[in-house]
Structure 1
Amino acid sequence: MKYCLLFFFLLTSVVVAVGQTGNPSENVVITSEKKKTKVHTSKSGALQVNVSPKDAAKFKTAGLVSYRDFGAQGDGKTDDMDAIVATHAFANQHNLRVKANEEATYYIGGKERTAVIQTDTDFGTAAFIIDDTEVQNREASIFMVSSSKQAFNPTGINSLKKNQAKITISLPEPCLITVTDSTVRRYIRYGLNQNNGAPQTDIFVVDKDGNVDINTPIIWSFDQITEITALPIDEDTLRITGGRFTTIANQAESKYTYYSRNIAIRRSNVLVDQLEHRITGEGEHGAPYGGFLNIRDCSHVTVQNTILTGHKTYRTIGRAGKLVSMGSYDLSVTRALNVSFVNCSQTNDINDRTYWGILGSNYCKNLLYDSCTLSRFDAHMGVANATIRNSTLGHMGINAIGTGTFTVENSTIRGRSLINLRPDYGSTWQGEFVIRDCVFVPNGGRPSTASLISGHYTGQHNFGYVCYMPQRITIENLHIDDSNHPEDYPGPAIFADFNPEMTDNSYREKFPYVKTQEVILKNVTIASGQKLRLSDNPFMFKGVKVITEQ
């Protein structure tokens, strides 16, 4: 009987481990034999964890476990990754909180192992050293915050319409729906990192009756759907608190081999609070990073009171055969909804151009910076609705394409422009800009000719969609600090020269640009004393109505 129960326990343990990670190489087998609690690696590479019945009862009574309970040394030298993985695996199985040991320093070497977090975790004042100098698998996360709920593929949905309010589906609970049409290409990139685009994709929230959340609208029409996934949304908030993380940077060749030795968040309703991440050991070369906090395929994630670090910028040969700077991120958000960064800052100077901008995002909806001091906000392959408030942005400023409303309020922007519409994705924003109570310091105070809205669009490249400028731009209570300007400075412009070749009616766009209809100005002050101009290219923007209110 004893061996039958043991076999059953082993079997269920393996099933749980596979469900947590989806990757057999990261399986954890948990037993409860009458031996001491011990963690070791089997010949197959699986992690074998035995928890004595006495310890198991003690942990369950306390409602929490620590890394020391599973053998972590915390001396900053011994690799504690196996103990960390084992701790979380046991905690997940019994719904226990995890608490790091105060003042411990956990060393994490290059072994391919991922700790799956499914319960509240308090890293506290503990330090974590992540050594990336010799890594078995650069794509393996250190921590994976995941749901215990399982994704599934719903049937019966063959097409969708843009802004469709309801889909014909019945679900067990509210879900995150991800759809793809691999036959349609969007975001066909232009420039030095040119590519053939990506399959059309969208992500949105529906309730159990199929009603689409009005805050996460369907932004594309799908004549057909080649893939659809539903992930039930966790109602309770999972909290991750504290932690002093230091990455010893990789010394790899400078090319697009991104490192993902990070905290990956793949669960909805997550709060990250009071975390710190620093970087050391960056040399003359290195591969880029895909975000120490990597948020993907989820909704309602808040990162607050957190300190991050910009990565050194390295260069490589891009797809066009020319030297390019590689994006390297401490924050990465992909196909995620309702993601907020509140009271976040970075350790290095937000105006130091030797460090890449701290955030990169794709396919997102409802992104927020509130009370942040960071080097950049960036939406590569589109964001639907974004807000920056009470914040200061550094040398890379605001870069975005997307839809809906982009609001910037009570903030200081120190980029080359107030908002840059990314030229590599068509300088497109289908919606409006609202800018109020802000200060714009062009080019961080360096001598430059200032423009509020910048971008570039030739009309000769097919991006896979119609490209728009914001239909309406409202600017209220803006101070432009252009006091340090070059000689013969004509004053700031609303629009940069998006196409220097478009100077008369003879220019033909193969893919016409839908330009701004109106700009509303109220209380715009300029340090240089110059007046706000329309553009260096007045012909291109001759149809824009500029309304100055008192």
Structure 2
Amino acid sequence: MRVAGRCWIAVSLLGVCAAIGSTHANGAEEGVVTYEQFGALGDGVADDLPAICAAHEHANARGLPVRSDPEATYHLGRRALTAVIATDTEWGTSRFIIDDSEPVEDHKRSLFEVRSLAKPVSLDLARLGRDQRRLEPWSAGACLVFVENAHERIYVRRGLNQNDGTAQKEVFVVQADGTIEGELDWDYEHLTEAVAYPIDAHVLRVSGGVFFNIANRMRQDVGYNYWARNIRVSRSNTELVGLTHQVTGETEFGHPYSGFLNVNRCANVTLRGCSIAGRKTYRTIGAAGKPVDMGSYGYAANLVVNLRMIGCRMDDIHDRSRWGVIGTNFMKGILVEDCVLSRMDVHMGASGDFVVRRSTLGHAGLNAIGRGRLSVEDSTLHGPSLITFRSDYGSTWTGDVVVRDSRWVVPERVGAVVLFRVDNDGTHDFGYPCAMPQTIRIEGLFIDDSSRSSDAPPPMFFGASLRAAAREGPFPYRVTERIVVSGLETASGRRPTLGGDPELADLIEIVWRAGETATIQSDGERLCRFGWTVGQCAKRYGRTIGLWATKLPPWIEKRPLSDNQTVGRLATKSPRTDCERHSRHRGPRSGHRRSQ
């Protein structure tokens, strides 16, 4: 019996060793899970999604990273399956085929979801207040908190896609000590739902992957029927890097997609170096019974705190047959940096800091509503306005707008040249008070209106649709208090007017602060008038600082430029006050601070 027992143990050990050896042979000796271990063929024909789901399930249970075969082409089939990603995943140059040209089992289901394995916790909260800073007592650790009051309706949309609004809701981060990040936007007298989603401490990274999507050909003449078949991110502290998405096979018929990269109910998500294709725009019958455009978003984000898009791209950003590439709702903290996109669109609100920096936006431009500080810095915009505040949601922005060192290229087909497009007649209840930005500051802006005829009206800060009477409607629209302008030039040489009712001139103060004292450093470090380097100035306008000084807008009083010294103090008369002379010196980067 003893010998037999030893033999059995030996045989068992040999079996274990054989299994380990087999695992080593397919790569797990490095602690990495592959799709091929679970039966994926990667030939571009066989349905590999079941094997991909199994591989991620195995990796998630053991905390192991996943790596695909860089030479493989994985077909993701048509079954209603979702691969849950909870560990680092490297797709590299692997290709993935998503074929929607034939019916699929569930077109609203995601193919991948980056998800935390931590379970959400229901909260018992009685009420919350706008701008509340803490939750006490709090012992759940760092969490993303979602709250909703289904008895209150907000974002009651107006226009061809009109609706009855959505439930009052938002997300915010609660740190371990109870401090709230992403201040509350609303007062909640009652809560119908409150859920805490634990935030994983480490950053999960998904990198690479080239996705080819053969578009759907669904026919539905009335209403929207959004497709998913995408990558959904619902885990906080996640970074997607270098993913590419391409679209082919679009026909006369089809329905929109809800965002190939779809970020939902999470915090601190970075999309870095991704390239998402624009999709064809289709038509349908909207809620008002009239034809409307039906567009897809390549990127979508909803109920997110701190979304960062760094170096993201799309194809031809001026192709009007392609819908804009990103749409967002219920956002807190957005950074778009070093990106080239056809549009940046906020539907149902952004709050906190919303920054577009060193980026180019194409034909659909920058569209937003919300509250906080909206900044456009060192960017080029090609939209129908410099910034459009969406009229279907009340053209509201409660807070300030800053435009600095930027350029707006006015499209040829646009009507009036309007910097800040707003439209609210004060007669519609959007579910919240509506307001124009309290203060608008322009600190360096070139308006390229060279496509306009010489007899066209001058640019306007606000369009002709803005009426002073909107302040006295049943749902008053509060107008901007102050516009402060410095370093603004137009290609036509025409000075922007206020626009709208003449009565608005008595309500909105415009302060023209022109030129500002500007020192040119001997090493060419900074051109302080706009905060640009001399090289940047030459790149943008093809002229040196000496020539630039002779090309100031005609409404600015010119001063001689002394060699290597200052541009001089330049001043204009304000439309409402006597000449306000203002001088600021911006020296080397280590020197003076920007005055406020």
Note if 1:449 corresponds to 2:416.
yes
Partner Cα distance (1:507, 1:454) in 2: 17
Partner Cα distance (2:148, 2:19) in 1: 47
1:519 equivalent among 469, 483, 491: 483
Q: Shift in Å at residue 55 of structure 1?
A: 5.2
Structure 2 residue identity aligned to 1:370: E
3-state SS in 2 of match to 1:488: coil
Question: What is the 5 A alignment of 1:127-146?
Answer: 127-133=95-101, 134-146=103-115
Structure-2 residue corresponding to 1:246: 212
Conserved? CA contact 2:328–2:348, under 8 Å: yes
Partner Cα distance (2:134, 2:309) in 1: 30
Structure 1 residue identity aligned to 2:189: D
Structure-2 residue corresponding to 1:497: 464
Structure-2 residue corresponding to 1:232: 198
Structure-1 residue corresponding to 2:498: 534
Q: Deviations over 1:367-424 (max 9, x none)?
A: 1110000000011000013110000000110000000000000000000000000000
Partner Cα distance (1:54, 1:200) in 2: 57
Q: Shift in Å at residue 539 of structure 1?
A: 2.7
Structure-2 residue corresponding to 1:544: 508
Q: Shift in Å at residue 448 of structure 1?
A: 3.8
Give the TM-score taking structure 1 as reference length. Answer: 0.87
Q: Shift in Å at residue 57 of structure 1?
A: 7.7
Structure 2 residue identity aligned to 1:513: Y
Structure-2 residue corresponding to 1:362: 329
Structure 1 residue identity aligned to 2:299: L
Question: What is the 5 A alignment of 1:261-300?
Answer: 261-300=229-268
2:294 equivalent among 323, 326, 338: 326
**Higher share of residues assigned strand:** 1
Q: Given the superposition, is the C-alpha separation of residues 448 and 483 from structure 1 closer, same or farther in structure 2, using an over 3 Å criterion? A: farther
Note if 1:165 corresponds to 2:121.
no
Q: Given the superposition, is the C-alpha separation of residues 75 and 395 from structure 1 closer, same or farther in structure 2, using an over 3 Å criterion? A: same
Q: Deviations over 1:274-301 (max 9, x none)?
A: 1100000111010100000000000011
3-state SS in 2 of match to 1:84: helix
Q: Given the superposition, is the C-alpha separation of residues 398 and 117 from structure 1 closer, same or farther in structure 2, using an over 3 Å criterion? A: same
Percent sequence identity is 41
Partner Cα distance (2:44, 2:472) in 1: 64
Structure 2 residue identity aligned to 1:146: R
Structure-1 residue corresponding to 2:160: 192
Question: What is the 5 A alignment of 1:107-126?
Answer: 107-126=75-94
Gaps of 5+ in 2: 1-13, 515-596
1:372 equivalent among 339, 344, 348: 339
2:473 equivalent among 502, 509, 532: 509
Structure-2 residue corresponding to 1:397: 365
Q: Deviations over 1:488-542 (max 9, x none)?
A: 312111111234xx47x69951111111000000010000111111114333454
Gaps of 5+ in 1: 1-33, 37-50
Conserved? CA contact 1:449–1:485, under 8 Å: no
Conserved? CA contact 2:416–2:463, under 8 Å: no
Q: Shift in Å at residue 447 of structure 1?
A: 5.7
Structure 2 residue identity aligned to 1:242: G
Conserved? CA contact 1:476–1:521, under 8 Å: yes
Q: Shift in Å at residue 482 of structure 1?
A: 0.1
Structure-1 residue corresponding to 2:521: none
Structure 1 or 2, whichever has the larger Rg, is: 2
Partner Cα distance (1:455, 1:397) in 2: 14
Structure 2 residue identity aligned to 1:107: H
Q: Shift in Å at residue 333 of structure 1?
A: 0.1
Conserved? CA contact 2:408–2:448, under 8 Å: yes
Provide the aligned length of Structure 1 versus Structure 2. Answer: 495
Partner Cα distance (2:505, 2:288) in 1: 31
Structure 2 residue identity aligned to 1:405: R
2:393 equivalent among 419, 425, 434: 425
Q: Given the superposition, is the C-alpha separation of residues 82 and 507 from structure 1 closer, same or farther in structure 2, using an over 3 Å criterion? A: closer
Structure-2 residue corresponding to 1:339: 307
3-state SS in 2 of match to 1:82: helix
Give the TM-score taking structure 2 as reference length. Answer: 0.80
Question: What is the 5 A alignment of 1:88-103?
Answer: 88-103=56-71
Between 52-61 and 402-411, the greater mean CA deviation after superposition: 52-61
Structure 2 residue identity aligned to 1:247: N
Conserved? CA contact 1:60–1:96, under 8 Å: no
Q: Given the superposition, is the C-alpha separation of residues 469 and 536 from structure 1 closer, same or farther in structure 2, using an over 3 Å criterion? A: closer
Q: Shift in Å at residue 78 of structure 1?
A: 0.9
2:377 equivalent among 409, 418, 422: 409
Note if 1:478 corresponds to 2:445.
yes
Note if 1:460 corresponds to 2:427.
yes
Q: Given the superposition, is the C-alpha separation of residues 539 and 121 from structure 1 closer, same or farther in structure 2, using an over 3 Å criterion? A: same
Q: Deviations over 1:174-206 (max 9, x none)?
A: 111111011111000000000000110121111
Q: Deviations over 1:51-100 (max 9, x none)?
A: 96765687664211111111111111111111111110101011111001
Partner Cα distance (2:404, 2:502) in 1: 25
Q: Deviations over 1:226-270 (max 9, x none)?
A: 110001101100000000011110000154110010000000011
Structure 2 residue identity aligned to 1:199: A
Q: Deviations over 1:121-141 (max 9, x none)?
A: 000100001111221101110
Conserved? CA contact 1:171–1:207, under 8 Å: no
3-state SS in 2 of match to 1:92: helix
Partner Cα distance (1:508, 1:311) in 2: 42
Q: Given the superposition, is the C-alpha separation of residues 149 and 506 from structure 1 closer, same or farther in structure 2, using an over 3 Å criterion? A: closer
Q: Given the superposition, is the C-alpha separation of residues 55 and 295 from structure 1 closer, same or farther in structure 2, using an over 3 Å criterion? A: farther
3-state SS in 2 of match to 1:261: coil
Conserved? CA contact 2:471–2:479, under 8 Å: no
Partner Cα distance (1:534, 1:235) in 2: 50
Partner Cα distance (2:360, 2:505) in 1: 30
Between 162-171 and 219-228, the greater mean CA deviation after superposition: 162-171
3-state SS in 1 of match to 2:369: strand
Conserved? CA contact 2:311–2:339, under 8 Å: yes
Question: What is the 5 A alignment of 1:17-32?
Answer: none
1:154 equivalent among 123, 131, 148: 123
Conserved? CA contact 2:143–2:198, under 8 Å: yes
Structure-2 residue corresponding to 1:353: 320
Partner Cα distance (2:160, 2:53) in 1: 41
Q: Given the superposition, is the C-alpha separation of residues 270 and 541 from structure 1 closer, same or farther in structure 2, using an over 3 Å criterion? A: farther
Partner Cα distance (1:251, 1:435) in 2: 42
3-state SS in 1 of match to 2:298: strand
2:36 equivalent among 68, 73, 79: 68
Partner Cα distance (1:386, 1:447) in 2: 26
Structure-1 residue corresponding to 2:529: none
3-state SS in 1 of match to 2:498: strand
Partner Cα distance (1:274, 1:64) in 2: 20
Conserved? CA contact 2:424–2:470, under 8 Å: no
Partner Cα distance (1:471, 1:498) in 2: 19
Partner Cα distance (1:482, 1:35) in 2: 77
Structure-2 residue corresponding to 1:488: 455
